[in-house]
A and B are shown apart, each in its own frame.
Chain A
């Protein structure tokens, strides 16, 4: 019971972090049809910039500045790099951002080295929010979750309840018409891309203080985030929220499960045979919890190729 509740809490928080990163990705894709391969690199960049700024001006300054700088980088990429390859199709946009991801990773290594850097949350946030079954639940976890929720609400309100949202949606559906109505479409797209990047930067600045900040964090999280958007359906905010939470919870619970396929065979009385075969069959779920998102993705592809909330291909 204790394990179940704590794991549920942890799973939700981790899921919300995944959502924070995938939200920006899915926002950009939904609006512009560009899959930004460098999105997870923006997440990493956010963490490193926040680290650099916070070591001089304090944690909150880092938290504020990192999304702004990363958002600015995103806008520059959208304004000056993407249009150059736009004529060659989406594949080239994907390749360009893929190259940017490589460069960002190597540049981070150039400046900050290969070690994880010492990016810490401030002491004022380092306390237990509450105690459950004698285990302290760190406040900072709730802080990460809270920021993700606030972000989701703000995005949703912005897109569905404000005039800006109407313009953005118009720019997505009928760019030519929106332009004819006097809206500056390039600026709209640039802002959308910048916002998406800034969200990733914010996620990095917040999460980097809790999880380690190292040059691999982009790739590690990036792969999971890509799985999230495939499972949730690209371009659907709700879908990525659902998929993030699912993957967060599955990963969290898998740790406590010592079952393997052999356990299933036991039910059929074939456990002995299965254990003799070994290999995949005897692998315990807990030892391969990192694999679960990928398996989930393959299952979704089989059952519902467009993703849980995605529209058709």
Chain B
């Protein structure tokens, strides 16, 4: 009950709100849904089975291309219902995933990661040469055809189609974790040796998990193809594979919905920040590394940790240090952003021109609507203050939070033994 009610509220919101949003937000929501499904499918392999793939773009891309080929056939008169198009992506993801899975799961651990990376690179380097399949470097294109009274012309219709498929896939993936095979998947991660001793063929099981993961990645790719109506070999690039890794692990790989959290956070981050600053990929990498260092269980893991101990948390004592930590974190973020943007400007081409015009001295530069002197102490005081005071705040906050949490966890452990 406790999980069903929030889920129902969220679903109703997802159904009811978008018609009142602008096109920009509708588009962002479509991307967000696709990224969520992709991350979930990826996490089936990396989080649940413990097989870290750096090449999931391959199955995502294959799903997109297969769907487009089907769409082209529909355009040419094949009677196929538009809402069922993602089945093509699922089929392609399944087939390619099966073949790739047989190769990749021959090795485990870091080898597996490298092999998956190389398989995706193989697609990336071959795709532009295969005109018939992947349409060269400009890709292939099709148009959504009307079906059953729906035109599928507006973004809103695409959104509902995407929402339907994503929700359905999430339910299936969730149900999967409840099946005996889903349990076996977790066992593959935790103790492969034991799986073998229990009489299971670990290699075959891995191939199956790999294939299922690739299949749902293919569905995500198919949804992208339906929404974009084109696909090109850039879908196979290392960047796509990297994004899904980032989403999943920032969100939290050990929690079922963790990857969705990561996908939501980063898609919104990209939507809002990517036009604001050229350094947004740098910030993205920084966030990822910070999460890996300080919250290896991801955002989702941190949230679950709090929910678990909800009853024993004494918020009256925890709220103040949490607020302090928030302030400290914001100050450090501000300082880092300040420095990064300064570097971006000072080492940028425009500043090089300004420097030459000023006769090889360091002229003042514009940032955030203000003028800064690169040699003046007043320019470097704000970041230094932000970073040092922020660091101090965080340090103090940690010293106060840690004993409180130790008490909470100690209490929980005692309760457990009782």
Contact = CB atoms under 8 A, between A and B. Distances in A.
B296 interface: yes
A163 interface: no
B285 A99 contact: yes
A106 B286 CA distance: 10
Interface string B219-259: 00000000000000000001000100100010000000000
B348 to A, nearest CB: 7
B110 A35 contact: yes
Contacts of B282: 103, 106-107, 109-110
Contact of B107 (A91, A226, A295, A301): A301
A90 B112 CA distance: 12
Contact of B115 (A105, A110, A230): A230
B306 to A, nearest CB: 20
B26 interface: no
A302 B103 contact: yes
11 contacts: A35-B110, A35-B113, A94-B52, A98-B245, A106-B279, A106-B282, A230-B115, A298-B103, A298-B122, A301-B115, A313-B107
B117 A223 contact: yes
Contacts of A230: 107, 111, 114-115, 118
B126 interface: yes
Interface string A277-313: 0111001000110110111011001100100000001
Contacts of B46: 91
B7 interface: no
Interface of B: 46, 50, 52, 54, 103, 106-111, 113-115, 117-119, 121-122, 125-126, 129-133, 238, 242, 245, 249, 279, 281-282, 284-286, 288-289, 292-294, 296, 340, 343-344, 347-349
A35 B54 CA distance: 13
A95 interface: yes
Nearest to B111: A230
A102 interface: yes
In the complex, which range does the number of interface residues on chain A fall in? 35 or more
A34 B296 CA distance: 17
A259 to B, nearest CB: 15
A65 to B, nearest CB: 20
B347 to A, nearest CB: 5
Contact of A103 (B126, B285, B349): B285
A113 B126 CA distance: 29
A102 B50 contact: no
Contacts, number: 123
A103 B286 contact: yes
A91 B50 contact: yes
B289 A99 contact: yes
A288 B242 contact: no
B2 to A, nearest CB: 29
Nearest to A115: B349
A274 interface: no
Contacts of A297: 115, 118
A288 B129 contact: yes
B242 A85 contact: no
A234 interface: yes
A283 B106 CA distance: 28
Given A94-B52, A102-B281, A103-B286, A294 B292 contact: no
Contacts of B106: 301-302, 305
B288 to A, nearest CB: 4
Contact of A94 (B113, B242, B343): B113
A301 B108 CA distance: 12
B289 A279 contact: no
Contacts of A113: 347-349
Given A94-B113, A111-B343, A219-B238, A294 B132 contact: no
Nearest to A280: B130
A84 interface: yes
A168 B46 CA distance: 33
A9 to B, nearest CB: 25
A229 interface: yes
Contacts of A90: 109-110
